[in-house]
Amino acid sequence: MRDFAQEIEDRKAAGLYRTRRHVSGPQQPQLIADGEPMLGFCSNDYLGLANHPSLIAAAEHGLSRNGLGGASSHLICGHHEAHHQLEQKLARFTGRSGALFFSTGYMANMGVISALAGKGDTVFSDALNHASIIDGCKLSRATIKTYPHADTDALEQLLAGTDGHKLVVTDGVFSMDGDIAPLRELAQLCHRHDALLVVDDAHGFGCLGPQGRGSVLAQGLTEAEVPVVIGTFGKAFGTSGAFVAGPALLMDYLVQKARTYIYTTAMPPALALASCASIDLVERDDARRAHLAHLVTKFRTAMTALNYQLMPSETPIQPVMVGDARAALKLSADLEKQGLLVTAIRPPTVPQGASRLRVTLSATHTDADLDRLIAGFAASAPQTTHPTRPAVATATIR
């Protein structure tokens, strides 16, 4: 049998051991972690809706009307009118003709990719795509061709050299770097090479585009240009669940074929109603997005002045590059001593030598909160204007 204990010890020695903190109470910047009050900068609750009274009220109302359990899969008797209402709202919100509600983004990626590509087909996947995309590609049993991050020239060569059914899949906003995929170029390439484009906009929905409609609509791309868009409710929307949106025919196809849609219990209807309420809030609340953009600019200006190395990101995901995994853990621990919670992200989530603190900003952070974070970083700031840290690796991950 494998020596599992030794593998854990090896991880500890390499600074790659993972632990969980126990959070008490609601998710918000001021949170209790392992019993200690902390100011958090690592949640994906970008708009600060996870603890919003309107969403809680919608869920409570939904619970008292419809009870709790989903009771069955969608194709047996679990497809509640609340799910249907959410799908219609989603189609309108995303500017697509249809939408399908999944239990999580992980399940959506696994189900959608494995349904739309199979044995004998080819899936082209960005090197920095999310783990759930990578697993969806593997599950499909298609040939997987990984292209260098956001490199449309390399992708074009791969597409030109491949026959048969082709699917291109990319994050809209990359979850660990915060940069945005070259969606317009990708759409043009897919059109030229008759490939189906799938964009997972887990981090774009709610934050980017007109009324928070995501990175695809931020670039004005239609359903013909980007046929399949995936999003999650677990991040900016502050609830739970996920969706795919696109042509009605494809949605119908997925109901027939997406195994992670078919063989799982429907989400509690009350949660679907909370997500409906969340879409209403997200659409309306430009002020939250404006404050968030202000925080992003302020953070980048201050951190650059402190000689920290950032990534070219305009989104609330602002990685602070460190390089070595143990050094990233130490910086995180130094901040923690000051009551600041910023998690270190290490391999295999990011490439070797590209460990970082993944700072995420939220519309519920105040200017004073951000000042505290910047003061915390200032206490551990790099000494020189010419950092001797190694250049950040851009190698393929996982």
Mark the segment that binds ligand PLP (CB under 6 A) among 198-206, 214-222, 252-260, 320-328.
Answer: 198-206
Residue 216 interacting with ligand PLP (CB under 6 A): no
Residue 261 interacting with ligand PLP (CB under 6 A): no
Per DSSP, 68 falls in state S
Within 10 Å of residue 281's Cβ, how many Cβ atoms?
A: 19
Measured between alpha carbons, how far is 137 from 280 in angstroms, rounded to an integer? Answer: 33
- Tell me which long-range contacts 310-313 makes (C-beta under 8 A, separation of at least 24): 311/177, 311/178, 311/179, 312/179, 313/177, 313/178, 313/179
Burial class (CB in 10 A: 0-12, 13-18, 19+), 301: exposed
Tell me the longest C-alpha to C-alpha distance in the chain.
64
Residue 132 interacting with ligand PLP (CB under 6 A): yes
CB of 106 to ligand PLP, least distance (A): 4
Question: Which lies closer to ligand PLP via its Cβ, residue 178 or residue 376?
Answer: 178
Question: Which lies closer to ligand PLP via its Cβ, residue 135 or residue 156?
Answer: 135
Residues 346-385 that bind ligand PLP (CB under 6 A): none
Sign, CA torsion 247/248/253/259 = positive
- The residue from 175, 219, 349, 362 that contacts ligand PLP (CB under 6 A) is 175
- The residue from 232, 278, 318, 349 that contacts ligand PLP (CB under 6 A) is 232
- The residue from 234, 246, 319, 351 that contacts ligand PLP (CB under 6 A) is 234
Both structure tokens of 149:
């991050």
Question: Is 203 known to be catalytic?
Answer: yes
Measured between alpha carbons, how far is 300 from 63 in angstroms, rounded to an integer? Answer: 42
**Nearest residue by C-beta to ligand PLP?**
105
Measured between alpha carbons, how far is 302 from 339 in angstroms, rounded to an integer? Answer: 20
Question: Which lies closer to ligand PLP via its Cβ, residue 308 or residue 346?
Answer: 346
CB of 107 to ligand PLP, least distance (A): 7
Residue 200 interacting with ligand PLP (CB under 6 A): yes
Residues 88-127 that bind ligand PLP (CB under 6 A): 104-106, 109
Query: Residue 32 belongs to what H/E stretch?
Result: strand 30-33
CB of 227 to ligand PLP, least distance (A): 18
Question: Which lies closer to ligand PLP via its Cβ, residue 98 or residue 234?
Answer: 234
Within 10 Å of residue 117's Cβ, how many Cβ atoms?
A: 26
Question: Is 175 known to be catalytic?
Answer: yes
Contacts of 293 (CB under 8 A, 6+ apart): none
Measured between alpha carbons, how far is 44 from 318 in angstroms, rounded to an integer? Answer: 12
CB of 226 to ligand PLP, least distance (A): 15
Residue 239 interacting with ligand PLP (CB under 6 A): no
Which of the following is catalytic: 103, 175, 215, 275?
Answer: 175
Mark the segment that binds ligand PLP (CB under 6 A) among 55-63, 83-91, 196-204, 358-366.
Answer: 196-204
- The residue from 137, 142, 198, 202 that contacts ligand PLP (CB under 6 A) is 202
The amino acid at 187? A
143-147/122-126 β-pairing: parallel
CB of 372 to ligand PLP, least distance (A): 26
Residue 134 interacting with ligand PLP (CB under 6 A): no
Total residues interacting with ligand PLP, rule: CB under 6 A: 14
Which of the following is catalytic: 79, 145, 149, 235?
Answer: 235
CB of 234 to ligand PLP, least distance (A): 4
Measured between alpha carbons, how far is 65 from 121 in angstroms, rounded to an integer? Answer: 46
Residue 203 interacting with ligand PLP (CB under 6 A): yes
CB of 13 to ligand PLP, least distance (A): 29
Instruction: Put residue 230 in one of left, alpha, beta given phi > 0 → left and psi -120 to 50 → alpha.
Output: beta
Closest CA to 74 of 103, 44, 106: 103
Distance of CA 33 to the CA centre of its chain: 23
Which of the following is catalytic: 74, 203, 291, 365?
Answer: 203
Place of tokens 């799938």: 198
Contacts of 35 (CB under 8 A, 6+ apart): 22, 24
Question: Is 12 known to be catalytic?
Answer: no
Give the interface with ligand PLP as residue ranges (CB under 6 A): 104-106, 109, 130, 132, 171, 175, 200, 202-203, 232, 234, 242
Active-site amino acid positions? 175, 203, 235
